[in-house]
Homo-oligomer: A and B are copies of this chain.
Amino acid sequence: MIKPLSLLNQSITHNVMVELKGGRGYRGVLDGFDPHMNLVLKNAEELLNNESQRKVDLAIVRGDNVIYVSP
């Protein structure tokens, strides 16, 4: 058994897939988070309906948009 935030913590510096409400997603390196699931992503590719939109060096994602994070 592992707590959701502990798994996030183990995923730091690893590639994750993040799916947000509204068809948006990110694929990038998890560089940080907090208990609200606000996330810091590095070298991230932004996806809309699974199609690549752009690359961002850094993004702070507000947690209430997150559906899931897949390490």
Contact = CB atoms under 8 A, between A and B. Distances in A.
Interface residues of A, number: 39
Contacts of A56: 17, 70
A47 interface: no
Interface string A3-17: 111111000110001
A71 B69 CA distance: 21
20 contacts: A1-B31, A2-B32, A3-B32, A3-B40, A4-B33, A4-B60, A6-B32, A7-B40, A8-B60, A20-B67, A37-B62, A57-B70, A58-B71, A59-B68, A60-B68, A60-B69, A60-B70, A61-B67, A62-B63, A62-B66
